[in-house]
Structure 1
Amino acid sequence: MPPRRKTLSIAMIAMNEEANLPRTLESVNWADEIIVVDSGSRDRTIEIAQSFGAKTSYHAFGGHGEQKNVALDLCTSDWTLLLDADEVLTPELQQEIRNLLAGEPKFDAYWIPRLNLYFGKWIRHGGFYPDHKLRLFKRGAARLSEGVGPHSTPQFAGRRGKMRGDMLHYAYPTMGIYLEHMNRYSSEIAQLLHNRGKDSRSFPAFLWNAVLNPAATFLYNYIFRLGFLDGREGLILHINHSVYIHWKYIKAWRLGQGKQ
């Protein structure tokens, strides 16, 4: 007797994602269940999600890890795919996941390679690809850390497999969106650094964190990890990524001084 096909839930969080959501949900409309946890959208996010058959609910935003854990807890299928509203599964990855769940998966959790779009170009160098993310796992096998800022990732202690198909991340199509996200993310991380006493109060710590570390990161990613092969978009990305590192430590330092 062939093995029973494993069912799949899609777990997502959303806030004002009407521009991205149709493209994302179209790539997973074959899943057995779609869960969308909204944190107060003022656009058509809920309407669009429900038009794809998604189960929607509201939860006040308390952090990325907490919000995604709420979505995971609502999933009822055998397996869960954690997906952001600006991520899309390529046809190759869709079929690969179907084939995996039709048999007996060797692992309980899988890394998925992510290809990021910045300023209209798919970035393939400089440490930004394959950008593996742990997103596919047995229900209940993984959970996100809470209170660690916007880049919380699922925690899983066992052996992990790797998928081959790409997940496309329509991250920052414009410079304005990129700067808004980096400003918001750097503020969140600065608060965490301050709470942990890592606000660069000594001058050597300030010099390293806010000046030398961003410069070293640019040199490493752009030169040694071949970021220059992504052309002008790669140059813009790596300059601004280093500026983002500078921002978060400057903001933490200001918080240490009792400033906003």
Structure 2
Amino acid sequence: MEPITGVIITLNEERHIEACIESLKQVCSSIIVVDSCSGDRTRELAEKAGARVVIQKYLGDGPQKNVGPDLAETPWVLSLDADERLSPEMAAEIKALNLSESPVPAYGFPRKNYIGSRWIRHSGWYPDVCVRLYDHTKVRWKDVRMHSYVEARDFRRLNGSIIHYSYRGVGELFRKADSYSNAIAKNLYQRGKRAGALSPFCHGLTAFFKHYVVKGGFLDGVDGMTVSISAAVNSYLKYAKLLEFQRDPEILKNEDFSEVW
């Protein structure tokens, strides 16, 4: 089996980091943790679990995820977030690959996203295919600071899933909507995007319809409704905050735009 380097980016992930490293050890010969100056025991636990830890102040999603591969001694890299794991099927498929003669530079996997212990099967949350195993000498994470992805036009999708423990519960799902929407609103404002008076309502309603109806959220019962409402709230807040930046100089003055991801 061709050697693979596992790469994880972290910030205060003491709850997840050991299990993530153990998961990667199923297929990786070495593991690099790129830590964004955590204030908890993330680094200590990662080193104890056998990973090499590199300290790097957060550069944004794409640039940060390219730090580890640039330090890897193997061409093939498997990238996971700290709250992700390899399913047994995914590990078995990777072990069966002949990466030294791979016809493609990257492989993608469906991702199972969870709220608590509940796998959300619809609502736009599955299959959520992510390219995570790749030859970093040929492809890289896109150099953007939000919502980056591996730029691989030619990749092969495998069947084994990434397990993603997205949120501990419904409360965390909605709490994160505030921070996510704030970061995105700032990013939009800096890029010169502007919102109209009806933008928050229209985007929020569209997001709900997309997740609940078009992407089958109604098939997930109460969880589908919850996910769809969360998507609507996130979208509504994003444009409401963008509109606020445009309309209220005092709010704009008090916001920190020095690090917008």
Q: TM-score, normalised by structure 2?
A: 0.89
Alignment of 1:109-258 (within 5 A): 109-149=106-146, 151-156=147-152, 158-200=153-195, 203=196, 206-207=197-198, 209-257=199-247, 258=249
User: Are 1:19 and 2:25 matched, yes or no?
Assistant: no
Using the TM superposition, give the Cα deviation of residue 24 of structure 1 relative to its aligned residue in structure 2, in angstroms.
Answer: 1.4
Contact 1:148-1:192 at 8 Å conserved across structures: no
Q: Which sections of structure 1, spanning at least 5 residues, go unmatched? A: none
Could you tell me which residue of structure 1 aligns to residue 257 of structure 2? none
C-alpha distance in structure 1 between counterparts of 2:6 and 2:246, whole Å: 40
Partner SS state of residue 25, structure 2 = coil
* Per-residue CA distance 1:113-171 (angstroms, 9 max, x = gap): 1010024310011221000111111122222233442x211222x41110110001001
Q: Which sections of structure 2, spanning at least 5 residues, go unmatched? A: 253-261
Partner SS state of residue 81, structure 2 = coil
**More displaced stretch, 122-131 vs 219-228:** 219-228
Q: Which runs of 4+ in 1 moved over 4 A?
A: none
Q: CA RMSD in A?
A: 1.7
- Percent identity reads 35
The one of 48, 57, 62 equivalent to 2:59 is 62
* Per-residue CA distance 1:81-125 (angstroms, 9 max, x = gap): 111000000011011011114663221111111010024310011
Q: Which amino acid aligns with 1:190?
A: A
Q: Which amino acid aligns with 2:210?
A: Y
Alignment of 1:102-113 (within 5 A): 104-113=101-110
C-alpha distance in structure 2 between counterparts of 1:214 and 1:121, whole Å: 25
* Per-residue CA distance 1:197-230 (angstroms, 9 max, x = gap): 1121xx3xx42x3111221221222123221111
Q: Which amino acid aligns with 1:169?
A: H
Give the number of equivalent residue pairs.
Answer: 249
Partner SS state of residue 140, structure 1 = coil
Contact 1:33-1:77 at 8 Å conserved across structures: no
